[in-house]
Amino acid sequence: MPQNQSPLAQLGWQPFFAEQVSAEDMVLTPPLRVIEVNRKGLHAVGEGIDLLVPAGPDATVGDWLLLDRAEPALSKVLARKSLFQRRAPGTEWKFQLIAANVDTAFIVSSCNPDFNVARLERYIALAFEAEVTPVIVLTKADLCDDPAPFVSAAAAISPRVSVVLLNALSGEPRDKLREWCQPGQTVVFLGSSGVGKSSLVNALFGEETESTAPIREDDAKGRHTTTRRQLHFLPGGCAVIDTPGMRELQLMDAEGGVADLFPDLSALVEQCHFRDCKHETEPGCAIRAALAAGALDEPRLARWEKLVAEERFNTESLAAQTSGNKSLRKAIRLAQKKNRK
Ligand SMILES: Nc1nc2c(ncn2[C@@H]2O[C@H](COP(=O)(O)OP(=O)(O)OP(=O)(O)O)[C@@H](O)[C@H]2O)c(=O)[nH]1
Ligand SMILES: [Mg+2]
Ligand SMILES: [Zn+2]
């Protein structure tokens, strides 16, 4: 019952965080939750506290800080229950933190020509890596004559992921997403621009909390209406994070997430005769054998190979960059040039 929840519990405070803080710390350095990151710093809220912490802590939306009253920029970030991060857009290899301490990630896509299984798989691998429960939310059911093929394509991605079909502009989101939007929980909406993330947030709140805008008619792409990641609290005590549509989602340091998404292929690779098997012409290749036996879906195999290669390349490049290994860096630049060609 939300009425019985402590103010901190309403902000998403869970035993995982409480265990990190002594009773004394709770008084001297009260916990604050980051609800927005902007140029001026971190907007954070706690029990009877609402303040802007100047840039300093390496934190993202959803993080918990222990406030250093004398020097807020030195506030400590509590260990995270989960963390969403991707390779930051650009030419360097670094992480961009997306959201922390999330329990459920709603991976949003629409029943229209913008629907893309490979893209959904990326988000789900990221969620598995982050140790967050992913749920696929298919919007715009009302605009689609036959949503069934979208539902079955989404359901085929992983037996571990639920699929919800709805009209984001109706009362359906409240009912259909209720199971995950419980008091004390934190949920995030992720997906491309225009899929209806902010519309879903508004539907949960029953009022306009976030701005929304129509998509382009020619290609069903969105217009990047949401530009900031922001956390809002439902009156019942669930924390809801809206995010801007991502143009590109590159995996880095997410090998486990990819393996969780493709457990069958990860197991087969272990059976290939050569450890560095490329699954092309090598003898004793378990992947080729499974293909020949008709046990594998070829497009899915191709998506897996692409994701594995990208994840490995980014992870190795990140390691090379941080270790300052010159010859490896040169090899990476050459590989990049080749890729571009
Ligand atoms: N008919 C219908 N329209 C929807 C549905 N979901 C979203 N829309 C419309 O799709 C457009 C884009 O929705 P937004 O909620 O702004 O999308 P977004 O994912 O937040 O997009 P960005 O903020 O750009 O990342 C708006 O015009 C919404 O009204 C739906 O289920 N049915
Ligand atoms: Mg939006
Ligand atoms: Zn092989």
**Residue in this structure with the two tokens 């701005």, named with its chain if needed:** 211
pLDDT for the residue 325: 67
- Determine whether the shortest distance from the Cβ of 212 to ligand 1 is under 6 A: yes
DSSP string covering 53-85: EES-S---TT-EEE--SS-GGGPEEPPPS-EEE
pLDDT for the residue 340: 65
- Determine whether the shortest distance from the Cβ of 245 to ligand 1 is under 6 A: yes
Three-state SS at 45: strand
> Do the bridges between strand 31-38 and strand 64-66 make them parallel or antiparallel, or are there none, so unpaired?
antiparallel
Q: Which residue has its alpha carbon closest to ligand 1 atom 11?
A: 214
Q: What is the pTM of this model?
A: 0.92
Give 296 Cα–ligand 3 centroid separation in angstroms: 13
- Determine whether the shortest distance from the Cβ of 217 to ligand 1 is under 6 A: no
Among 115, 123, 212, name the best residue to mutate to test ligand 1's pocket (greatest count of ligand atoms within 8 A of Cβ).
Answer: 212
Cβ neighbours of residue 166 closer than 8 Å, sequence gap 6 or more: 137, 138, 139, 141, 172, 173, 176
Q: Which residue has its alpha carbon closest to ligand 1 atom 13?
A: 196
CB atoms within 10 A of CB 299: 10
Alpha-carbon distance of 76 to 242, in angstroms, equals: 25
Alpha-carbon distance of 98 to 119, in angstroms, equals: 17
Among 199, 200, 201, name the best residue to mutate to test ligand 1's pocket (greatest count of ligand atoms within 8 A of Cβ).
Answer: 199
Three-state SS at 108: strand
CB atoms within 10 A of CB 1: 7
Give 78 Cα–ligand 1 centroid separation in angstroms: 34
Contact 189, 183 (CB under 8 A): no
Q: How distant, in Å, are the alpha carbons of 4, 16, 73, 111, 206 from that of 1?
A: 6, 20, 35, 35, 20
- Determine whether the shortest distance from the Cβ of 214 to ligand 1 is under 6 A: yes
User: pLDDT tens track of the chain, all 341 residues?
Assistant: 445 678 999 999 999 999 999 999 999 999 999 999 988 899 999 999 999 999 888 999 999 999 999 999 999 999 999 999 988 888 888 888 999 999 999 999 999 999 999 999 999 999 999 999 999 999 999 999 999 999 999 999 999 999 999 999 999 999 999 999 999 999 999 999 999 999 999 999 998 888 888 888 878 888 888 888 999 999 988 999 999 998 888 888 889 999 999 999 999 999 999 988 989 889 999 999 999 999 899 999 999 999 999 998 888 888 887 776 667 767 777 777 776 66
Cβ neighbours of residue 69 closer than 8 Å, sequence gap 6 or more: 28, 29
pLDDT for the residue 2: 47
Give 14 Cα–ligand 2 centroid separation in angstroms: 28
Specify the ligand 1 atom closest to the Cα of 226: 23
Three-state SS at 113: coil
- Determine whether the shortest distance from the Cβ of 202 to ligand 1 is under 6 A: no
